[in-house]
Structure 1
Amino acid sequence: MNISEARTRIVATADELYNARGIQAVGMDELRTAAGVSLKKLYQEFPSKSSIVMAVLERRHRSWADGLDAKVRQAAAPRDRLLAIFDYLAQWFAEDSFRGCGFINSFAELGAVSSEVAEYAREHKASFQEYVARLAAEAGVPAYLAPQLSILAEGAQTTAAIAGTAEAARQARGAAEVLIDAALGARDSRAA
């Protein structure tokens, strides 16, 4: 096994374990055993648990951004691209492994003691807000709508995790449709 294979396996295993049980509940020995690597190899790849946590958060960020963008790009119209955010959430919430947003969970668990985790969670959320702002601009809706849609998506993630149902995505999508259509209607009435 080469270094990149071991590193990839460790991060994927840590992601699964942290998602299922929380970061602090998973020790290095358990991670080593589950990943099928020696403790020496684990520490060669990652000098500390915090370095593993950051690698997991980077993996989650890439997975989130790539998955969301792929879903959004399937929609043809700008309005539909905004709503595709909530379609992506519905798919994610329906996965057996869904336990809520890994960034919200990590921030809640470690944000007070790890400035690195707190800052990365903030950067992840800011990048999502910027993404929604770009989609809103493409749809021709007022800039104030983007943070509102972001808050709907964030709230849906938390609600779905706590309720254990994907219904929050459908409800948030319905609210997003009302907001988008109201903003587009106001824009169109001003243009007339």
Structure 2
Amino acid sequence: MMVKISAGLERAFARRGFAEPSVEDLRDAAGVSLRTLYKYTPSRSQMVLAALEHRHQRYLERVFTDLPQESGEALDTILSRVGEWMVSETSHGCLFHAAVAAYPASLPLRDLLEGHKAEVAKKAAVACGIPEKGIELLVLIEGLTQVWSLQGPRALDAAKLLGRALLDRHES
């Protein structure tokens, strides 16, 4: 039941932002009764957290599952999958950052944002065979996410070019 609720909440917040949807809208998106929604997510802040935790798992699975073994191919695949994510999921930037911007005083949201980004950085660095370069890879991924709305596929090309330069520099 929680997965169904979290998935519906994620879709609602991704489409309409964090301020606009009413509780009734969120209930409808989750496809449950108001009582059930509140049973699993007793407050709006819990609804936001549930949505983002669901998104975190989906993102990690989509971007990091079954990567090629070779560093350059792994990096190209990661960046391509981030580009695909931007096309299919959101072309306006990171939902985690948007949540923190909407609720800047929420420590649980900040912790979730930091944990999500740390895990993305670590997984990318390990997949690319450069575990000490997680921050650099996160900058590439975050840059791609933020520039996508302005440049689309050109942002992906630029991220791949910079990623290859990072790998080449590491190998020499």
**TM-based fold match above 0.5:** yes
**Residue 164 to residue 9, structure 1, CA distance change in 2 (3 Å):** farther
Aligned residues: 172
For the pair 1:25 / 2:12, whether they are aligned, the reply is no
Pair 1:151-2:139 in alignment: yes
Taking structure 1 as the reference length, what is the TM-score of the superposition?
0.80
- Paired residues of 1:86 and 1:172 also in contact (CA < 8 A): yes
The structure-2 alpha-carbon separation of the partners of 1:181 and 1:121, relative to structure 1 and needing over 3 Å to count, comes to same
Higher mean Cα deviation, 95-104 or 9-18?
95-104
Two-structure CA RMSD over aligned residues (Å): 2.0
Q: Cα distance, 1:126 vs. partner?
A: 0.9
SS at match of 1:57: helix
SS of 1:23's equivalent? coil
Where 1:155 maps in the other structure, the secondary structure is helix
* Paired letter, 2:159: A
Give 1:12-161 correspondences, 5 Å limit.
12-70=7-65, 73-95=66-88, 97-110=90-103, 112-136=104-128, 138=129, 141=130, 143=132, 145-160=133-148
Deviant stretches of 4+, over 6 Å? none
1: CA distance, partners of 2:153 / 2:101? 22
Q: What TM-score does the superposition give when structure 2 sets the normalisation length?
A: 0.88
Larger Rg: 1
Residues 14, 183 of structure 1: alpha-carbon distance in 2 compared, 3 angstrom cutoff? same
Q: Note closer, same or farther for the CA distance 1:142–1:97 as it changes in structure 2 (3 Å cut).
A: closer
Give the 3-state SS of the residue equivalent to 1:94 in structure 2.
Answer: helix
| Structure 2 gap ranges (5+) | none
> For residue 190 of structure 1, what is the aligned residue in structure 2?
none
**Structure 2 CA distance for partners of 1:44 and 1:170, relative to 1, 3 Å:** same
d(CA) in 1 for partners of 2:28, 2:127: 43
Unaligned runs of 5+ in 1: 187-192
